[in-house]
Amino acid sequence: MLQNPSFPWLLHLSGFFSQRNWNCKTKHLQPLASPISSGKLMRYTAASFLRQNNMLFIRSFMVLFLCCITVKINLCFSGIPYSLKTLTLDGHLNFDEVHNAARDFGNRYQLLPSAVLHPNSVSDIATTVKHIWEMGSHSELTVAARGHGHSLQGQAQAHQGVVINMESLQGPKMQVYAENSFYVDVSGGELWINILHESVKYGLAPKSWTDYLHLTVGGTLSNAGISGQAFQHGPQISNVHQLEVVTGKGEIINCSEKQNSELFHSVLGGLGQFGIITRARISLEPAPDMVKWIRVLYSDFATFARDQEYLISAEKTFDYIEGFVMVNRTGLLNNWRSSFDPQDPVQASQFKSDGQTLFCLELAKYINKDEKDLVNQEVESSLSVLNYIPSTLFLSEVSYIEFLDRVHVSEVKLRSKGLWEVPHPWLNLFIPQSKIHDFAREVFGNILAETSNGPILIYPLNKSKWDNRTSVVIPEEDVFYLVAFLSSAVPSSKGTDGLEHILTQNKRILEYCETARLGVKQYLPHYTTQEQWRSHFGPQWEVFVQRKSTYDPLAILAPGQRIFQKAMPFS
C-alpha cells in the first residue's frame, strides 16, 4: 500500500477500488429461481460475462496505474534519481556506504547524502555535475566536494545530494618543475603533506602553509590557507599560478590571472560556491635544511602586540611569526622542555606561570647548513630588540619537515587517547589592528578570564599580501590579526569543557564584537541566513552574487555553506 502522506488522494483511490467496487474472488453462476427462456438465459449469461471481464480489465488497469505512480513516487522520495545510476564513469557512485561523508572534524553536523562519488578522473566530476545541472531547478540534488573532512560546520556535506570524495581523484601524477620558475602541478584532492614530501626531493617547497598539513589543496584554496608565513608571502591563495575548475554547469575550465581571470579569482577563497578545484599550479621556493624554532613569553598584551607588529614590518625578520594566548596554565615551561631548550635553565626553572594570562611569541628562522653561523647572528640581533620576559627564551633546531608537520604529532597523541574525534566548536576571526587591544581586554580579560578549552592563536597579517580580486573577506585596515579559538569539547560534559559552554562563550565573543562595532570578519565563516552572509560580505556581496549566477546559476555546489538555496533567487 502507498505510505507517502504527501499523496492522500492515492490512499483514498486505493481503498475505493479495492474495498467498494470490486471483489477479487471468482463468482460462479447459480440457477435462477424463476424460469427463464433459454434465449434470455444466454443473453443474460453473455452480458454478465462481459460485465465481469470489463470490471476485471478496469481493475487491472487501475492497479497498473497505481503501481506506476508508486514507483515514480518512491524514486522521487528516495533522493536517488534512477538516472544517476546510468552515468558512465571511470570511477563509481556508491549509494550504500555514505555515512562517512556525513561527518567532519567539527563533529557537530551529520547530513546524509544520497550518494558518494569516487572519481577516477576529472571527467567523472564534470559528468556528474553536468547531469544534475541538466536535470534543472525542479531537482533538489546538490553537490559538495569533500577533501580530508576537516570542515567544522558541515560545509562539505550535501543533504540527500552527492558528495565527491576528492581524495579518490586520479589524474596526472604530481609534477614538480625545478627549472627557471619553480612550481608544482597537483590534484585538488592532494594533501599538502604529500606536496611537501615530494617537493623537498627537488630542494623546493611551497611558500605559504597552514598549521596542519593533512588538508587537501582544493579545501584550503577555497578558504585562504594561512599560517605564520602569511605575513610575508600572503595566504596560500596568493601563491597559485593556475587552476583547473569544474563549474556548477559541469564545464571543465582552466583559469589563471591571464586566462578566465574572473573565474580564477572567484574560486580562490570562494567557499566552493563557483567551482570545484580539480587541479592547481602552486608556487615554490628553495627549501631550507633546518629551522631554528623559538618561543618567548609576555605578561603584557600591549608589549606582545607591539613586538609582533614590528617583526612583520621589519626588513630583516623571521620566516614564520605566530603567537598564542595561554589562560591559567600551570607548569608551562616544564612542558616545553620536551621539545625546547631554555637559554637560561636556572631562570627558566624559577618562572611561575600559575594563574596568569600569558602571551607566547612563536618564531622560526630557516637555516641552510652553509649559513648556520650567519643565521644565528641574525636571530640574536632580531631578538635583542624585543621585550619578552628574559627567563622565558626557549630555542630548538629541527628539520624543515618536522617543523611544518608539528601539529600532526599532537594529532597522533590525541588519537591514541580517543580525544581527536570530539566536537570542535572552533571560532576564527580577523580583527582590525586598531581594535585588537579592545578585543583582547574584553575577551582575554573577561570572557575567557578563567579557562580556555584549546589553543588560542593570535598573530598579525599584512593586507598588502592579499589579492582583493579573490572572494575572501578581510578587514579594511592595512594590518589585521587572526585570532583563532581552537576549542575541543568533552562529549557529554555539562561543565566548562562541554560543548554548550564553549558555544555560549563563542556567542558572547561574537556579540561583543558586534556591539562594540569592531569591524570583525569571520575566517572559515559560518552563518545560517542569507542576511547574515550579506552583512559578512558587505560591499562585495553583489559581486559574489553575480559570480554565483554566472558559474553556478542553479546553486548546485557547496550547499553546506548555507549561502544560497537551490532554486531560490540569489539576491
Instruction: State residue 187 phi and psi, 5-degree precision.
Output: -75, 150
Between 533 and 49, residue with greater pLDDT: 533
Do the domains spanning 175-287 and 290-522 agree at the CATH topology level? no
What pLDDT, on the 0 to 100 scale, is given for residue 450?
78
CA distance 543 to 470: 11
Going from the C-alpha of 387 to that of each of 319, 325, 391, 440, 518, the distances in angstroms are 19, 17, 12, 19, 28
CA distance 503 to 388: 33
Environment class of 546 (CB within 10 Å of its CB; exposed 0-12, middle 13-18, buried 19+): middle
Between 341 and 334, residue with greater pLDDT: 341
Give the catalytic positions in this structure: 150, 211, 322
Residues facing 358 on adjacent strands: 326
Between 482 and 172, residue with greater pLDDT: 482
Instruction: State residue 120 phi and psi, 5-degree precision.
Output: -100, -10
CA distance 374 to 382: 12
Between 327 and 115, residue with greater pLDDT: 115
- Read off the pLDDT of each residue in 32-58 and give the average, rounded to a whole number: 49
Q: Do residues 236 and 209 make contact, with C-beta atoms less than 8 angstroms apart? A: yes
DSSP characters for 511-547?
A: HHHHHTT---EEES---SSHHHHHHHHGGGHHHHHHH
- Read off the pLDDT of each residue in 536-565 and give the average, rounded to a whole number: 97
Between 366 and 75, residue with greater pLDDT: 366
Confidence check: pLDDT of 23 > 60: no
Instruction: State residue 479 phi and psi, 5-degree precision.
Output: -125, 135
Instruction: Tell me the three cell numbers of residue 339.
Output: 621539545
What is the number of other CB atoms lying within 10 angstroms of the CB of residue 177? 14
pLDDT band at 1 (very low <50, low <70, confident <90, very high): very low
**Whole-angstrom Cα Rg for the chain:** 32
Q: Look over the chain and give the mean of its residue pLDDT values, rounded to a whole number.
A: 88
What pLDDT, on the 0 to 100 scale, is given for residue 343?
84
Judged by average pLDDT, the poorest of 10-14, 152-156, 261-265, 466-470 is 10-14
Environment class of 464 (CB within 10 Å of its CB; exposed 0-12, middle 13-18, buried 19+): exposed
pLDDT band at 330 (very low <50, low <70, confident <90, very high): low
Q: pLDDT, tens digit, for every residue of 384-394?
A: 999 999 999 99
Instruction: Tell me the three cell numbers of residue 545.
Output: 552574487
Instruction: Tell me the three cell numbers of residue 396.
Output: 630548538
Q: pLDDT, tens digit, for every residue of 25-37?
A: 333 333 334 444 4
CA distance 424 to 502: 10
What pLDDT, on the 0 to 100 scale, is given for residue 17?
32
Residues facing 295 on adjacent strands: 362, 394
Q: pLDDT, tens digit, for every residue of 394-443?
A: 999 999 999 999 999 999 999 999 989 999 999 999 999 999 999 999 99
CATH topology (fold) of 175-287: 3.30.465
Run of H or E residues at 374:
helix 372-384
pLDDT band at 331 (very low <50, low <70, confident <90, very high): low
Between 66 and 456, residue with greater pLDDT: 456
Residue 445 DSSP class: I
Confidence check: pLDDT of 269 > 80: yes
- Read off the pLDDT of each residue in 306-317 and give the average, rounded to a whole number: 97
CA distance 453 to 488: 6
Confidence check: pLDDT of 80 > 70: no
Sorted by where each begins, the domain ranges of the chain are 175-287, 290-522
Run of H or E residues at 321:
strand 320-327
Q: Do residues 397 and 316 make contact, with C-beta atoms less than 8 angstroms apart? A: no
Confidence check: pLDDT of 339 > 90: no
What pLDDT, on the 0 to 100 scale, is given for residue 350?
78
DSSP characters for 408-441?
A: HHHHHHHHHTT-SSS----EEEEEEGGGHHHHHH
Confidence check: pLDDT of 243 > 70: yes
Between 370 and 512, residue with greater pLDDT: 512
CA distance 497 to 502: 7
Q: Do residues 393 and 403 make contact, with C-beta atoms less than 8 angstroms apart? A: no
Q: Which residues contact 65 (CB under 8 A, 6 or more apart)?
A: none
Would you say domain 290-522 falls under CATH 3.40.462.10? yes
Confidence check: pLDDT of 224 > 90: yes
Confidence check: pLDDT of 79 > 80: no
Between 204 and 76, residue with greater pLDDT: 204
Q: Do residues 536 and 475 make contact, with C-beta atoms less than 8 angstroms apart? A: no
Q: Do residues 527 and 480 make contact, with C-beta atoms less than 8 angstroms apart? A: no
Q: pTM for this one?
A: 0.85
Between 569 and 129, residue with greater pLDDT: 129
| Secondary structure, 3-state, 455-513 | CEEEEEEEHHHCCCCCCCCCCCCCEEEEEEECCCCCCCCCCCCCHHHHHHHHHHHHHHH
Q: What percent of the chain has pLDDT over 70?
A: 84
Edge-to-edge strand ranges of the sheet holding 92-94? 92-94, 115-118, 162-165, 143-146
CA distance 564 to 571: 9
- Read off the pLDDT of each residue in 437-450 and give the average, rounded to a whole number: 94
Instruction: State residue 107 phi and psi, 5-degree precision.
Output: 55, 40
Judged by average pLDDT, the poorest of 52-66, 352-366, 481-495 is 52-66
Confidence check: pLDDT of 15 > 50: no
- Read off the pLDDT of each residue in 530-539 and give the average, rounded to a whole number: 96
What pLDDT, on the 0 to 100 scale, is given for residue 432?
98
